[in-house]
Structure 1
Amino acid sequence: MTLDLQQAAQRRMRRAVFVLTGIVLVLVAALVVIAVTGGDSGSDKGAPAPQPSNTAPKPAATLPEDDGGYVAPEKYAKLPDAAAKVGNLPVKFPRTPEGAAAMTVASARNAWSLDPAQVKAGILAYASAQYRNDMAAAAEDGAKGNREFAGVSASGPLPAGATLNAWPIGVKWAEVDSSSVDVLVLLRVTHAPKAGADSTTTLVVSPGRAVWESGDWKVMPTDPPKNLPDPVDVGSAKFNEDGWKAIQEGDRL
């Protein structure tokens, strides 16, 4: 389950996918767009041209064949459970760095959806109050971007069997202060355009800042770090070298 890509190939791949990620208006991407545009909800200009320093989720190539060279994670993050739910979304995480990471993981997982109602629900549950309404208004565009990412037409009924699912596999964080934590989430995003089609799995690094607001952690717009790490798979030596922690949530690994 190793990801053995040469650095030059990774750079070429990143340049190729920047155009694609510019239309994937999932939660973190919407936050970055608002941060860049100043949150002007009255504008209809769309997302700015993708730039390496201000695009959000950062994909790599699809997964290669498993060569049997599995390397066990050296570190694990036991993320705390939420104390409540809004619909089926966990909220009310503890005021700890691990709680901030748990909220960011939950928001990143929910954002990868073909259902605009689910995308909007995640925004309402996890976005910082001052940006929430602007982002919620863009939820339908976010779902359209996700459809295009999954190889599905942006409009019309979903083909039978079309899927888009994200599973967080790694996390790391850095405390900014007692009320804010910068979090990176490493995800496997798997999609198929219709029933019977081969599924594709992409590795994504999703950055975000968690801020303590009204008794819970929320996602706040911030520019991604300049040196956003390349996506790597859990089970690879690079996963450990880059300092990722394998995720444990509740009883799940």
Structure 2
Amino acid sequence: MTLDLQHAAQRRMRRAVLVLVAVVLLLVAALVVIATRDGGSDNGKGSPTQSSPTPKAMPTLPEDDGGYVAPTQYVKLPDGAEKAGDLPTKFPRTPEGATAMLVASARNAWSFDAATVKAGILAYASADYRDSMAASAEDGAVGNREFAGVPATGDLPAGATLNAWPIGVQWSETDASTVNALILLRVTHAAKEGAEPTTTIVVSPAQAVWEEGDWKVMPTDPAENLPDPVDVGTAKFNEDGWKAIQEGDRL
């Protein structure tokens, strides 16, 4: 990592990072806000949300002493061979391919735009859940707006931003058609122009299944004993077994 990126990481580590304690469906990450607010719905096939505890804000990183701890494990996830609009699809049938799909869906889900959220659902959701999840795309976008502190409806304030940056992954292969993964994301948002950006580190459990010649997302059950959210560049990142995602010349 370049010196500039190391300094940027150190500045991020000096900020208090919030914990988002919730079950996050990778395709509709924003629905975590709705689930925690409304208590979710049943866990039947037609429901994309599940109940979860109320989010708590707490520091997750130790005081930064100015040091940067380089990741001990890296992964260069494979690209999709095709695209659905702007979204990569047709990932290789490997654990890394499944994880790459989950990372792509996670990145796309954190959006203020319902059409963007819906496009990700149509591209990545398992067929059994696709229609019901697509019907909730508008709710997902509203949840994202509420999470970022902007009005739930109407025009976005000038300068309002929401970006999710996947920074680490873990995975385990159940069989050749099922891969369970944890996605570590750095979610940054600002409510309006001039507002100080807020960064939240999120750990999202996810499952990929091989279906229709590609990996697809399956809704996950509430997970217990998730690792603490930690930023890349800390000793804890390595201690907890995270693999840093490498894209081009960056982590």
TM-score by length of 2: 0.82
Give 1:67 shift: 3.8
Give the structure 1 partner of residue 147 of structure 2.
149
Residues paired across the two proteins, number: 235
Which residue in 1 is equivalent to 2:52?
A: 50
Letter in 2 for 1:176: T
Q: 1:75 and 1:25 mapped to 2: Cα distance?
A: 23
Check the 8 A contact 1:59/1:205 in 2, yes or no: no
1:180 partner letter: T
Partner SS, residue 184 of structure 1: strand
Q: Distance between the aligned counterparts of 1:200 and 1:29, measured in 2?
A: 16
Confirm whether residue 233 of structure 1 aligns to residue 237 of structure 2. no
Contact 1:82 1:93 in 2 (8 A): yes
Task: Confirm whether residue 38 of structure 1 aligns to residue 47 of structure 2.
Answer: no
Q: Determine the C-alpha separation between the residues in 2 that align with 1:71 and 1:79.
A: 22
**Counterpart residue number, 1:115:** 113
Matches of 2:122 and 2:53, distance apart in 1: 27
Gaps of 5+ in 1: none
* CA distance in structure 1 between the aligned counterparts of 2:25 and 2:219, rounded to whole angstroms: 16
Residue identity in the other structure for 2:28: L
Q: Which amino acid aligns with 2:71?
A: P
Aligned-pair identity (%): 67
CA RMSD of the aligned region, Å?
3.3
- 2:68/2:234 contact within 8 Å kept: yes
Give yes or no for contact 1:25–1:142 (8 Å, CA) kept in 2: no
Residue aligning to 1:187: 185
Secondary structure in structure 1 of the residue aligned to 2:72: coil
Helix, strand or coil for the counterpart of 1:206? strand
Q: Determine which of 171, 175, 178 is the counterpart of 2:176.
A: 178
CA deviation digits over 1:204-246, x for unaligned, max 9? Answer: 1111000000110000122143211110000000000000000
What are structure 2's unaligned runs of at least 5 residues? Answer: 1-9
Runs of 4+ aligned structure 1 residues displaced above 6 Å come to: 22-25, 62-65
Superposition TM-score, scaled by structure 1 size: 0.81
SS, match of residue 217 in structure 2: strand
Alignment correspondent of 2:208:
210
